[in-house]
Amino acid sequence: MFKIAYKRDQKYHFSPLRYPGGKTCLFPFLGNVIKENKLESVTYVEPFAGGAGAALALLYLEKVDRIVINDFDKAIYSFWKSAIFDSERFIKKIFNVPVNVNEWRKQKAININDVSSCFDLGFSTFYLNRTNISGVLDARPIGGLNQKGKWKIDARFNKVTLAERVRQLSEYKNRITVLNEDGLKLIDDYLNRKNVFMYLDPPYFDKGATLYLNHYQVDDHEALAKKLNENPESFWVLTYDDKPEIKSLYLKRRTVDFSLAYNVREARKGKEIMIMSDILSIKKHG
Ligand SMILES: C[S@@+](CC[C@H](N)C(=O)[O-])C[C@H]1O[C@@H](n2cnc3c(N)ncnc32)[C@H](O)[C@@H]1O
């Protein structure tokens, strides 16, 4: 069993989004793998980016040259697009928006409206992610609709900290690509390019609560495996929940069990597996 040791350190928490089970904690390990494999001027690609915590840490700590943040969920994509490329407006809105249940209802309506602009959809995604229980987009606000809970709706909405995270994103905008493609397409587009390292964290095989877009079916997991298995000589690392169905898709690849050194409360308790391409040289430490 790989133990990936990592202290839950706010210092490395760069993403403005909260992501239950997010993989920020893997960044030291991924950074070491990139270094060990002597990849230069690396483009680090996450086809299933979500909160993109590991990607941002690798970029800000200068472990990679560029990052590609892709998510098929339009709401998540719109957040990244607006926060990174329309950051001044985004920051103004963070400071001006009220954080209360009334506003929450407005943002919720924007979020489920198909015709919302990219900026409005992106901001509402951020707003709900910061004000909802566990950051889950279709959950209730922290403290409940009556605000009777111990924690209130603004418990995770520190405006100064969040504005600073968005400002930092905008500083790096020339080194970030944001896309809204299906993960498989992204693999086709990027995996065989020179100096690309891909980290894939697809929706879990076992669907838990609806934490994020999760239409991934058995067929999709199989199609992903087919594509990755066809590319054993490219640089990729994949993580999944530890299920025999998944292991059986990657019998020819190296697979290791790993556990994160802290408890992920919400979604991804317990053991996970990491599968890697044949070409990768990997030491057994984080
Ligand atoms: C397990 S989460 C990734 C979490 C991320 N590693 C983090 O640290 O925050 C999976 C992500 O894949 C996205 N997704 C679901 N289906 C997808 C697809 N077909 N192509 C690309 N992204 C997809 C979801 O919206 C979700 O954000």
79 CA to centre of ligand 1 in angstroms: 14
Mean pLDDT of the chain: 90
Strands (E), 133-282: 176-179, 196-200, 236-241, 254-260, 272-276
> Given a cut of 50, is residue 264 above it in pLDDT?
no
Residue nearest to ligand 1 atom 24, measured at CA: 213
- pLDDT tens digits, residue range 48-88? 999 999 999 999 999 999 999 999 999 999 999 999 999 99
111 CA to centre of ligand 1 in angstroms: 18
Which of 37-41, 179-183, 274-278 shows the lowest mean pLDDT across its residues? Answer: 37-41
Atom of ligand 1 nearest to the CA of 15: 9
| Pocket residues: Cβ below 6 A from ligand 1 | 19, 22-23, 47-48, 50-51, 53, 71-73, 76, 182-183, 201-203, 212-213, 216
pLDDT, average across residues 175-202: 97
> Given a cut of 80, is residue 245 above it in pLDDT?
yes
Q: Cα torsion for 245, 28, 43, 226, to the nearest 10°?
A: -10
DSSP H stretches of helix in the chain: 27-36, 53-60, 74-85, 87-96, 101-111, 118-131, 159-171, 183-190, 218-229, 244-247
Q: Ligand 1, from 73, 190, 198, 240: best to mutate by most atoms within 8 Å of Cβ? A: 73
CB atoms under 10 Å from CB of 175, counted, come to 12
Domains and CATH numbers, the chain: 2-72+183-276 (3.40.50.150), 89-171 (no CATH)
